[in-house]
């Protein structure tokens, strides 16, 4: 056997469906497809991003200094505490390499983003799953032998945020590294990034993919204690996996916070409207987690035939087979989804 043994435990990561797959399979014209399955921002990035992309020199390797300084102003932490990567996925890949190895364990409250499990296994470690219980809250204690804990807040796919006192208590009572995934925090009431100052086992992951509308360019970052940043720079790939395009776009987007905040506020007000109409769990992210009467794969399939892509949550461990996740789109997209969904429910 040439392959590493851990690969036999892995299934490929399941992403939300894309335009090409749906036009090919269901013959729905591209213009009629609405994509509410990947938690992208329907308003896209600031118009400054397109301008910035015209100025890049693709024959040069990327330089990260200006990006780090823009991130530092945005997040309110010194550059020494910020690490970057190809999406938050890339950042997590390097971070898990720092802490997890053969025989280690990670704790993953489920249902949640599945890449934590994949990275744990790829590093030879073992994921321990803890069911989120009442209101999808995480367990309050961590087994002693756990090396890394993944808390997603707001959580994908359930949409709930973990309260500060729970995160604090957990971090204070464990030796493990607590990784708080704040991919959706711009849509939430508050960020807990400031806790990085207090705890040397606490990391906050962030992304430019969601509120900033740059999913296609793959740019993420994390706020980490300085000792972790130093080790990160040893284990990261050359140029941290960033590109001239992602750097230019990231800087431009961070210089136009007004645009990002406006799109977030439109998404949040649509979220409240859709939530009332759907009578589902509350959400602090740019999506809703909806319990379905019919099995979720059937609901997803019926919507796909009409060109509406949502996420069937069966691929989230611990989510069962009666939940879908719907990204908040534009008013027009949400109306189309709502009409189609309500018709399915009668
Ligand atoms: C909870 C969560 N964390 C991280 C990511 C990865 O984000 P990025 O696009 O920055 O790799 C996603 C992407 O959907 C996500 O849902």
Question: Can you give the CATH number for the domain in which 58 is found?
Answer: 3.40.640.10
- CB contact at 8 A, 287 and 328: yes
Query: Among 13, 113, 205, which residue has the most ligand 1 atoms within 8 Å of its CB, making it the best to mutate?
Result: 113
In the reported structure, the alpha carbon of residue 183 is separated from the centroid of ligand 1 by a whole-number distance in angstroms of 6
For residues 248 and 189, state if they share a domain: yes
Atom of ligand 1 minimally distant from the CA of 86:
11
Q: Does the Cβ of 93 fall within 6 Å of ligand 1?
A: no
For residues 264 and 243, state if they share a domain: no
Q: What is the mean pLDDT of residues 202-208?
A: 98
pLDDT for 43-82, tens place per residue?
A: 999 999 999 999 999 999 999 999 999 999 999 999 999 9
For residues 188 and 163, state if they share a domain: yes
Residue-level pLDDT at 24? 87
For residues 281 and 202, state if they share a domain: no
Residue nearest atom 3 in ligand 1 by C-alpha distance = 183
Domain that holds residue 336: 5-44+258-344
pLDDT confidence bin for 1, thresholds 50/70/90? confident
Domain of 294, CATH number, reads 3.90.1150.10
| Final residue of a structural domain among 221, 254, 287 | 254
Checking if the pLDDT of 346 tops 80, the result is no
For residues 57 and 114, state if they share a domain: yes
For residues 118 and 241, state if they share a domain: yes
For residues 238 and 280, state if they share a domain: no
151 phi/psi in degrees, rounded to 5: -115, 120
Residue-level pLDDT at 26? 86
Apex 30 CA angle, 265 and 259, nearest 5: 20
Residue-level pLDDT at 294? 95
In the reported structure, the alpha carbon of residue 343 is separated from the centroid of ligand 1 by a whole-number distance in angstroms of 31
Average pLDDT over the chain, rounded to an integer = 96
In the reported structure, the alpha carbon of residue 39 is separated from the centroid of ligand 1 by a whole-number distance in angstroms of 9
DSSP code per residue over 31-96: GG-EE-SS---TT-S-HHHHHHHTT--TTSPP--HHHHHHHHHHHTS-GGGEEEESHHHHHHHHHH
Residue-level pLDDT at 22? 86
In the reported structure, the alpha carbon of residue 345 is separated from the centroid of ligand 1 by a whole-number distance in angstroms of 31
Q: How many domains does the chain have?
A: 2
Terminal alpha carbon distance of the chain: 54
| Final residue of a structural domain among 254, 289, 310 | 254
For residues 55 and 36, state if they share a domain: no
Residue-level pLDDT at 99? 98
Q: Does the Cβ of 39 fall within 6 Å of ligand 1?
A: yes
Residue nearest atom 7 in ligand 1 by C-alpha distance = 88
For residues 232 and 334, state if they share a domain: no
Q: Does the Cβ of 191 fall within 6 Å of ligand 1?
A: no
The residue among 17 and 120 whose pLDDT is bigger is 120
pLDDT confidence bin for 178, thresholds 50/70/90? very high
| Final residue of a structural domain among 201, 236, 254 | 254
Atom of ligand 1 minimally distant from the CA of 112:
1
Q: Work out whether the CA dihedral 306, 308, 314, 319 comes out positive or negative.
A: negative
Residue-level pLDDT at 229? 98
Q: Does the Cβ of 174 fall within 6 Å of ligand 1?
A: no
For residues 238 and 269, state if they share a domain: no
Q: Does the Cβ of 220 fall within 6 Å of ligand 1?
A: yes
Checking if the pLDDT of 18 tops 90, the result is no
For residues 73 and 149, state if they share a domain: yes
Residue that is written with structure tokens 């130093």 in the block: 230
- CB contact at 8 A, 230 and 7: no
Residue that is written with structure tokens 């609901």 in the block: 299
d(CA 206, CA 74): 12
In the chain, the DSSP E strands lie at: 34-35, 82-85, 105-110, 126-131, 146-152, 177-181, 202-207, 220-223, 287-291, 308-309, 311-312, 323-327
Q: What is the mean pLDDT of residues 28-36?
A: 92
For residues 37 and 54, state if they share a domain: no
Atom of ligand 1 minimally distant from the CA of 38:
14
pLDDT confidence bin for 259, thresholds 50/70/90? very high
């Amino acid at each position: 056997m040439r392959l590493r043994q851990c690969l036999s435990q892995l299934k490929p990561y399941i992403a939300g469906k894309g335009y090409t797959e749906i036009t090919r399979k269901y013959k729905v014209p591209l213009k009629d497809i609405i994509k509410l399955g990947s938690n992208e921002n329907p308003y896209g990035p600031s118009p400054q991003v397109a301008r910035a992309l015209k100025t890049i020199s693709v024959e040069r390797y990327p330089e990260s200094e200006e990006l780090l300084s823009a991130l530092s102003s945005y997040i309110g932490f010194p550059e020494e505490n910020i690490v970057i990567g190809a999406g938050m996925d890339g950042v997590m890949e390097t971070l898990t390499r720092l802490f997890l190895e053969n025989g280690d364990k990670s704790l993953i409250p489920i249902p949640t983003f599945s890449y934590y499990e994949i990275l744990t296994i790829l590093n030879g470690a073992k994921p321990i799953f803890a069911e989120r219980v009442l209101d999808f809250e995480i367990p309050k204690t961590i087994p002693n032998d756990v090396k890394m804990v993944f808390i997603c807040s707001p959580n994908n796919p359930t949409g709930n945020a973990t309260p500060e006192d729970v995160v604090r208590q957990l971090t204070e009572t464990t030796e493990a590294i607590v990784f708080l995934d704040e991919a959706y925090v711009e849509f939430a009431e508050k960020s807990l990034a400031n806790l990085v100052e207090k705890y040397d086992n606490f990391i906050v992951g962030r992304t430019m993919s969601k509120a900033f509308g740059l999913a296609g360019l793959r740019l993420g970052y994390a706020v980490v204690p300085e000792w972790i940043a130093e080790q990160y720079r040893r284990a990261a790939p050359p140029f941290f996996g960033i590109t001239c395009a992602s750097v230019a776009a990231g800087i431009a987007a961070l210089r136009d916070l007004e645009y990002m905040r406006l799109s977030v506020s439109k998404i949040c007000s649509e979220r409240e409207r859709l939530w009332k109409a759907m009578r589902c769990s509350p959400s602090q992210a740019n999506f809703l987690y909806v319990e379905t009467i019919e099995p979720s794969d059937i609901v997803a399939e019926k919507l796909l035939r009409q060109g509406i892509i949502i996420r069937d949550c069966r691929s989230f461990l611990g989510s069962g087979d009666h939940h879908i996740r719907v990204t908040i789109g534009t008013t027009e997209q949400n109306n189309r989804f709502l009409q189609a969904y309500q018709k399915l429910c009668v």
